[in-house]
Structure 1
């Protein structure tokens, strides 16, 4: 059974029941529980189900940061998942990993759940939820550090002076940052002034800074600059980036990875 067909059946079953447990879904579809969990991650990222402890339910009415994030995640979802898979190659067991807010870092968080003994430093509440204590004893437990206080953005990220002060005392092996846009003149930008300040502190806290940006971010400019292009170590984008844009970007960043799409 192809992944798309399996997920379609999985979605139909959750909608039929309103809510369903992972073991029951695995039996119904004739696949492993791990396969069901991965499929639910994809469906949740697209906003088609809400993940709950041990299973999933049909999306509930209401407005919140996680809903806004799910809407963002649907835009070029395949590209963002490809970026997340490629970026996950940089992370090894035992690392301290910083993750900023945004739909692509959210996708990366789900890729990192299978890596043992990580310390996650994040100001994103949806990212922190990904690393909640697992409901199965054989899943790795990842310690999570959430930056408390500050202003809460529409995407449920905590930003501002309190978050910045917390970051000044933390040291990460690697940090991953999402952005509103990438421009040769404006650099890496965001639409939120306080988020820019917090993201600058996140970059400073990392021994290595990696930007995750799908091809739609090329040429886009947000309200304020986070850092210049030469202040990050690596940019990971997707295969939708045009050859001309790729050539230009390679000339202005330390390193560029173009993640190839693949069946997930």
Structure 2
């Protein structure tokens, strides 16, 4: 899914305002997004991802905040960071769901991870969902959000036409790249 994730990350760049405050959720696609952030735009990046933090650690043009909490080793993300996000003023959150269920909305395989994703969404004025086509139609253990809580869903062209039609009726903007 390398090529698909590269296209998703590149398309997601258009959702970032100059001097923006961003939250990058854990995931390989957000790592790719972090690596593509243009220089000298005054970004502040908040992340729960160890990998995203490592990608951005040497960037002196970015203010980087790493959220604390217990490390979910499989996800490479910290958990239980809800309190750290309370009161923050974030422009856009980039969230990577474990699954996008047509019946239940956005899902995750771990309840603590789902809680963290919900906190990330609650801290932002705009939520951009980054989900390659293999996550669409897939339901995981814990539901963390409904489709109407998302401003944009960016996926790849591997998404079948029927699923694209169903998603277009549920999310304000669907981008297939």
Using the size of structure 2 for normalisation, the TM-score is 0.95
CA contact under 8 A between 1:180 and 1:189: conserved in structure 2? yes
Counterpart CA distance in 2 for 1:132 and 1:200 is: 25
Please report how far the alpha carbon of residue 231 of structure 1 lies from its aligned counterpart in structure 2 after TM superposition: 1.1
Unaligned runs of 5+ in 2: none
Match of 1:212 in 2: 130
1:253 matched residue in structure 2: 171
Within 5 A, what are the aligned runs for 1:153-232?
153-160=73-80, 163-232=81-150
Q: 2:8 aligns with which of 72, 75, 83?
A: 83
Which whole-Å CA distance do the structure 1 matches of 2:71 and 2:87 have between them? 20
Q: Shift in Å at residue 107 of structure 1?
A: 1.3
Query: Alpha-carbon deviation of 1:113?
Result: 4.7
In structure 1, C-alpha distance between the alignment counterparts of 2:164 and 2:40, rounded to whole Å? 31
Distance of 1:158 and 1:221 partners within structure 2: 22
Residue 155 of structure 1, CA deviation: 2.5
State the 1:153 CA deviation. Answer: 3.4
TM-score normalised to structure 1 length: 0.64
Higher helix proportion? 1
Distance 1:180 1:158, change over 3 A: same
Offset, 1:118:
0.4
Q: Structure 2 vs 1, CA of residues 196 and 243 (structure 1 numbering), >3 Å: closer, same or farther?
A: same
Output the CA distance in 1 between the equivalents of 2:105 and 2:16: 25
Residue 156 of structure 1, CA deviation: 1.7
CA contact (8 A) 1:113 1:130 kept: no
CA deviation digits over 1:47-98, x for unaligned, max 9?
xxxxxxxxxxxxxxxxxxxxxxxxxxxxx11111100000011113210001
Aligned residues: 177
Instruction: Tell me what 1:106 maps to.
Output: 31
Q: Deviations over 1:17-48 (max 9, x none)?
A: xxxxxxxxxxxxxxxxxxxxxxxxxxxxxxxx
For the 8 Å contact 2:93–2:121, the answer to whether it is kept is yes
What is the Cα deviation at residue 169 of structure 1?
Answer: 2.6
Q: CA RMSD in A?
A: 1.3
Does the 8 Å contact 2:68/2:79 carry over to 1? no
Q: Tell me the alpha carbon deviations over residues 175-210 of structure 1, each in whole angstroms, 9 at most, x when there is no partner.
A: 000011111112111101111001101000000001
Matching residue of 1:36: none
Unaligned runs of 5+ in 1: 1-75, 135-139, 260-264
- 1:8 is aligned to none
Larger RCO (CA within 8 A; separation ≥ 6): 2
The structure number with the bigger radius of gyration is 1
1:242 & 1:100 partners in 2: Cα distance? 26
Q: Deviations over 1:213-233 (max 9, x none)?
A: 011111111111110111111
Q: How many angstroms apart in 1 are the aligned matches of 2:125 and 2:63?
A: 19
